[in-house]
Chains A and B, each alone.
Chain A
Amino acid sequence: MFPPRHGLIPMFWTITLLLLALAGGLLAVYAPTEATMGEVQKIFYLHLPVALNMFLACSVVFVGSVGYAWQRRPAWDDLAQAGAQVAVLLCSVTLITGMIWGRSAWGHWWTWSPRLTFSLMLWLLYVVYLMIRPSIESPQRRALVSAVYGMVAFVDVPLVYLSTKLLPDIHPSGVDLDPAMWVTLIAWSIPITMLTAGLIHARFALNGAVRGAATTEPPVIPTDHRPRMPEAHA
């Protein structure tokens, strides 16, 4: 059910956590304070890598959905589901960190700018993806409906990316960083990308195992209908 356990995965997670700790250290002692926005600009080192990895997770949903629609193998559906689970997580972190930044930089938590609106739509689309799955009983039908939905939902990804370039938006459309800021940004991007890859891999394995357990599990007998031992009479 599970892939064989070997030392590579614990080593991968150890390196990820060490790099994350290193990035935290760089943020605290090395990253310069930006002249206009001040200290709050440092949220950017988490916000941007998480947002970019959110696109990666959405792409995994798209690839898994196309794969299932093409080959009808359940593993593709497991992959798409894993991508959606991680995409919702990353989108939540992007929205939360963005809102905290917006409160300090713009003076309000939320504004209906194109980038923010399309990002909220993206979060809702993948939350709905995860919500509709348990409501479909047949595994084949569930996988097929999810695959079609996963391909359609991906349309929002280029809209989020292009919104600041094509429409007037309060959200910054590019970054102008000095070398020390670039170093900090790269230092955060590496462990966040590794974390995303690790989470998708772990969720993919878990989804496959849950599917396997569901097909081999014996039927549940309601408590009231269990055969009873004959009672001894005195």
Chain B
Amino acid sequence: MTGHAAVIVAYTLGLCLLLGYGAHTWLSARALRRRSRGRSV
């Protein structure tokens, strides 16, 4: 792996994991909020 490719792979993997986990947390919170709102209606 060349240095340039290594940098691209490292940043893509790292940022995908960090931002993907953030998106997963946000979607889980939204689903739970909707479910609890539906139950209270």
A binds B: yes
Taking beta carbons and an 8 Å cutoff, which residues of A are in contact with B? 1-2, 13, 20, 24, 27, 37-40, 42-43, 46-47, 50, 89, 92-93, 96-97, 100-101, 103-104, 192, 195, 198-199, 202-203, 205-206, 209-210, 213
Known: A2-B33, A202-B29. A39 touches B17 (CB 8 A): no
Query: Measured between alpha carbons, how far is A13 from B28 in the docked complex, in Å?
Result: 17
Residue B18 is within 8 A (CB to CB) of chain A in the complex: yes
Q: How far is the CA of A124 from the CA of B32 in the complex (A)?
A: 29
* Pairs A–B under 8 Å by Cβ, sample size 19: A1-B32, A38-B3, A39-B3, A39-B7, A46-B11, A89-B17, A96-B17, A100-B13, A101-B10, A103-B6, A104-B3, A192-B18, A203-B25, A206-B29, A206-B32, A209-B29, A209-B33, A209-B36, A213-B36
Asked if A199 meets B6 with Cβ closer than 8 Å, knowing A96-B13, A206-B28, A206-B32, the reply is: no
Contact residues of B between 1 and 37, Cβ < 8 Å to A: 1-4, 6-7, 9-11, 13-15, 17-18, 21-22, 25-26, 28-29, 32-33, 35-36
Known: A38-B3, A104-B1. A43 touches B10 (CB 8 A): yes
For the complex formed, measure the closest distance between the CB of A57 and the CB atoms of chain B, giving whole angstroms: 12
Once bound together, how far apart are the Cα atoms of A40 and B3, in whole Å?
4
Tell me the complex Cα distance, A46–B29, Å. 28
Tell me the dominant secondary structure on chain A's binding face: helix
In the bound complex, CA of A40 to CA of B13 (Å): 15
Q: How many residues of B contact A (CB 8 A)?
A: 24
Q: Is the interface of B mostly helix, strand, loop or mixed?
A: helix
With most chain A CB atoms within 10 A of its CB, the pick from B10, B13, B17, B26 is B10
Report the minimum CB–CB distance from A13 to chain B (whole Å).
Answer: 8
